[in-house]
Each structure stands twice: as structure tokens, then as C-alpha cells.
Amino acid sequence: MRKFLMSTAAVGLTAMPALAEVSDNVVKIGILNDQSGVYADFGGKSSFEAAKMAVEDFGGKVLDAPIEVITADHQNKPDIASNIARQWYDTEQVDSIMELTSSSVGLAVQALSLEEKKITVNTGAATTELTGAQCSPYGFHWAYDTHALAVGTGGALVKEGGDSWYFLTADYAFGYSLEENTSNFVKSQGGTVVGSVRHPLATTDFSSFLLQAQASGAKVIGLANAGLDTQNAIKQASEFGITQGGQKLAALLFTISEVNGLGAEAAQGLNLTESFYWNRTPETAEFGKRFFERTGVMPNMVHAGTYSAVTAYLKAIEAAGTDETEAVAAKMHELPVQDVFAENGKVAANGRMISDVYLMEVKAPDQITEDWDYYNVLATIPGDEAYINPAESGCPLVK
């Protein structure tokens, strides 16, 4: 069932010195993510398209060698993902794997790539472990993580007076990590956590859990889950009169793709954190519209993050004059990240790409003036506040 979509990037022409060395005379990037399951809209095929856009915008060639992007569906299973990654590295001359939605997959492929001495840039998974205890000299984490989400959404709501929290948490590693990060942050801001309930992944009916959250009397109900689970929880919360009763919902991982699926009617008033919004500046809008023409959807932070990651990787190869892993990784750590996604990004020693994140509020349907015009940007959270200080991340590579 595994299917590979091959794509050879458009050929461009850039004159580069002939002494540059590129292994196998091609730079090959693999986009490995969920294309058929719950996260197929969160990243999915659109991430592949974002990577191809980055290659085209770069000119299609680096150091005179053509750039190729390939993709596969890992079905959210770490074992399948590891098999594909191994095959890509061993027989298909893939130089780097990116996107890697889902924390379990992200950690597995990053560990495998460390063994194989290959670069991974994770733009789709959330866990801070990737740049924490399990960090890798060749592993990078772009776009967002659970800490940034906690600081963004958690911080904003506590500031508004939402000082007591109850969590609805997806019962696996990602949910725990998101709940823990948010709880810690809420407490550090003087708030309290009155309780939590753990629900199985892919629950369809949340009414029991929502009634428990309602009974807790907490001012904020934190949804430490993702994708369809969050959508269903939000939809059903309004049905049971939870938001009308004065309790506020915090969707801790929610992007414009899910907002569009849920519809502005049900999503209005939600606070959420993303590191990208297409309608924020003229440059992001231009990128968003180009992306929309190719995919039929506007980019979320995973898609724009993937564009940024591919671009940064290619720039590092160019600067290093080779695609050899050690040299490219060194350049990636060294070079600033400046593109449509990150205005003033930098890569820390633990592999975390630090750039600004934004606190959003979903507009009411009558305020929306054009399709996909869903957000008001309430605040810009500087990257250094949003992400863990690398020295405290627990990553052994930070001295």
C-alpha cells in the first residue's frame, strides 16, 4: 500500500564553481508524513508541494547538481516510517528527510538518521524531546513545539484571567507532553490546574469528558489533543453549552487547516498559537496565494515551515560547498534563517530553530472578508520567549 510519488524538480540554471562536490550528483530530499490518516490535512501532500515550491524558488539546482524531492506516507506508524527512511538512505540516495509529522515517528526517524549520519528537519511533530534529551547533531526542529504552544495559548489565557485549568488530553506521548508543558506554564504564571481526563486517540464522542470538564468549574478547558479529536471536542463543547456557560476553550494544537474544516461558526473566538499566518504581511499573503493555486488550501505553519526548512537546507549546502552531512549541519547551525516563514530565525545548538510565534483569535463569521481570512493576530511572541532556553532543554549537545 505504500506509494511513492516521485517528482523531479524543475530544472533551473545557476552557475556554480565546478569544484563543488555533491554525492551521486543529485541532492535528494524526502518528505515523509501522514497522507491518509488524521494528520493528512495538518501536513500531508501539501507539505510535499511546499517542498517542491522551495526547490523551484531556489532555482532547481544547488552547486550545479539537480535537486529532487520524493515523498511517502508513513501512516503514523514509527516502524513503517523507519523502514522507508532506511530504504531511502540505503538504496535511493536520499540526503535528508523532512516534515515527519507525529512525535513518535519524528523521534524514531531522527534516531535512525543519527546512526546513518543524515540530516532530518522536523516540521510536523510537536514534542520538545526532539531537541531535548534525545537531540541529535544532525536533527533540526522547525515551525513549532509543545513548549511554544503552551507559552502562546496558555500565557494569553492566564493573562486574560483564565487562572484555573482542566485538561482533555489525548492518551499518548504527544498529549502528555502538551499537557505537562502547558500545566507548568500555567502554574508558573500563578494559575492552577484543577484536574484532567485522558481520552483515547480518535475518540468520536467527547460528551462524557466535556461534562466532567464542565463539572470541574475550571475557567479554561485545555484541549491537549490534535486534528479530528480537537475538532470534535470543540464542536460538541458548544453543543453542551460549555462556551456559552462562560468556560473558555483552549485548542493547544490547532492550525488553519483544522479551523477551515471546523468552520468559522463553531471555531469563532478560539485562541490558538501558530508560527505562520498567510494574511499577516504582504509577503506571507503572496506566498499563501501561490501555495493555494497549487494545493487548493492555504498553508499552515507546517506547510510554510517545510518551505523554510527546505530553503535553509539548500542554502547550507551552497554555503558549505558540499552536501556532506557534517559540513551542512554546521552551516545550518551557523546561518540565520530569513524567509517568508521566519523573519529573524536562528538555529540553537540543540537543533531548535527559534523564530517568532503568533497568538491568534479566530474571527466571527461576519468579520471574515475573504476565504481563509480566519485570524486576528493578537500578539507576537518573540522566539526566545516561546522556546525553551537551549541551555535548559536537557540536550547534551548544549555546552
Partner 1 sequence: MIFGVPLQALMGQLLVGLINGSFYALLSLGLAVIFGLLRVINFAHGAQYMLGAFIALLLLTVGGINYWFALILSPLIVGLLAAVVERTMLSRLYKLDHLYGLLFTFGLALAIEGTFRYFFGASGKPYAPPAQLTGAVNLGFMFLPIYRGWVVIASLIVCIGTWLMIEKTKLGAYLRAATENPTLVQSFGVNVPLLLTLTYALGAALAAFAGVLAAPVYQVSPLMGSNLIIVVFAVVVVGGMGSILGAIVTGYMLGVVEGLTKVFYPEASNIVIFVIMAIVLVLRPAGLFGKDA
Closest to 59 in 3D by CA, of 8, 14, 7: 14
Q: What are 46's three cell numbers?
A: 501539501
DSSP strand E in 235-305: where? 248-251, 271-274
Cα–Cα distance, 6 to 102 (Å, whole number)? 23
For the record, the C-alpha cell of 105 comes out as 515517528
Q: Which is nearer to partner 1, 241 or 336 (CB)?
A: 241
Exposure b/e, 4-21, CB count within 10 A at least 16 = b: eeebebeeeeeeeeeebe
Q: How far is the CB of 56 from partner 1 (least distance, A)?
A: 24
> Which amino acid does the sequence have at 19?
L
Length of the chain: 399
Closer by beta carbon to partner 1, 23 or else 203: 203
* Shorter beta-carbon distance to partner 1: residue 35 or 311: 35
Compare residues 83 and 236 and give the one whose CB is closer to partner 1. 236
From the CB of 263, what's the least distance to partner 1, in Å?
4
* Smallest separation (angstroms) from partner 1 to the CB of 241: 5
- Nearest-approach distance from CB 81 to partner 1, in angstroms: 18
Q: In the bound complex, what is the minimum distance in angstroms from residue 195's beta carbon to partner 1?
A: 11
Shorter beta-carbon distance to partner 1: residue 230 or 393: 230
| DSSP codes, 329-390 | HHHHHHS-B-SSS-SSBEE-TTSBEE--EEEEEEPPGGG--STT--EEEEEEE-HHHHSPPG
Q: How far apart are the first and last CA of the chain?
A: 45
Residue 34 or 323 having the CB closest to partner 1 = 34
For partner 1, which is the closer residue by CB, 177 or 232?
Answer: 232
CB of 236 to partner 1, least distance (A): 7
The minimum distance between CB 47 and partner 1, in angstroms, equals 13
Tell me how far, at minimum, the Cβ of 264 lies from partner 1, in Å. Answer: 10
Q: Closest by alpha carbon to 57, among 276, 345, 280, 290?
A: 290
Q: Binding residues for partner 1, per CB under 8 A?
A: 36-42, 44, 171, 197-200, 202-205, 207-209, 211-212, 214-215, 227-228, 231-232, 235-236, 239-241, 245, 257-258, 260-263, 265-266, 297
Q: Return all residues near 18 (Cβ < 8 A) that are at least 6 apart.
A: 64
The smaller minimum CB distance to partner 1, of residues 261 and 336, is found at: 261
Alpha-carbon distance of 261 to 238, in angstroms, equals 16
